[in-house]
Amino acid sequence: MVPLTSLVTVRESYGPDQIERYQGFVAARVIGGSVPGVSSSEALRIVEEIAAENLPPGYELDWTAQALQEKRSASSAIPAFSMALLMVFLILAALYEKWSLPVGVILTVPFALLGALVAIFVRGGSNDIYFQIGLVTLIGLAAKNAILIVAFAVKARDAGKSAAEAAVEAARIRFRPLVMTSMAFVLGVVPLVLAAGAGAGARRSMGTGVFGGMLFDTFVATLFIPLFFKVLTGDRKEPRA
């Protein structure tokens, strides 16, 4: 038996209870949240700026947990919107067997997105993942409103009417059903807009965007659908898809 004191010198000192490691590197975990009035995405940007200015050489900043998911979702929002628009366009092109009519339907989507942005700005919300999910939902809802008018306009035009006459007649016939279905949906999301309690932030963010987007699409975009139909179709024959 060899005494330990013959090999090492023992002295008392202070140190961490455990050493944090992240991806094989010694790391320090920092947990925090944004102050009222500052969105989570803005808080992440501020932390990145402070870290870039103050961290010494050899130190880096990386995100984990919810912050990492939010950073990933922010970069995937545009591909998700693009894919949703592409799917709507291709489905409508196959349905109408024309290329111009789906374009007229897609042109109503920006009105819904603008209404959602205005609503979330008025309520002081942020462009978080829940709001972005609502925007993807609005793409389908806005297209649905346009389809209700375009479908009747196509039938009227096939019956021999001009594009302008068919568009006006379709808008006149389908306006009331369109408003009824849209308002039923809008009133259905009011509980989300006024949500309270645990998880209320996510529900308010999604509900506010969808609420404002559908109102704007119903009472503003509907006025432009006949115009889009007239401009894109005119009185010429459409190429088959």
CATH number, domain of 83, equals 1.20.1640.10
Q: How far apart are CA 152 and CA 226, in angstroms?
A: 11
Q: How many domains does the chain have?
A: 1
Residue 95 to residues 133, 136, 151, 157, 170: CA-CA distances in angstroms? 26, 21, 10, 16, 18
Q: What is the pLDDT tens value at each position of the chain, 241 positions in all?
A: 888 888 888 888 888 788 888 888 888 888 887 787 677 778 888 888 999 899 888 888 888 887 887 777 766 777 878 888 888 888 888 877 778 888 888 888 889 889 999 998 888 877 777 888 888 888 888 888 888 888 888 888 888 888 888 888 888 888 888 889 888 988 998 998 888 877 788 888 888 989 999 998 888 888 888 888 888 876 554 444 4
Residue 22's beta-bridge partner residues? Answer: 25
Does 195 fall in a domain?
A: yes
Residue 194 lies in a domain: yes
159 within some domain: yes
| 238 located within any domain | no
**Residue 80 domain flag:** yes
Task: Report yes or no on 138 lying in a domain.
Answer: yes
Question: Domain of 95?
Answer: 76-233
Of residues 46, 40, 49, the one with CA closest to residue 69: 40
Structural domain includes residue 35: no
Q: Which of 221, 240, 78, 76 is nearest to 147 (CA)?
A: 221
**pTM for the structure as a whole:** 0.67
Asked if residue 69 is part of any domain, the answer here is no
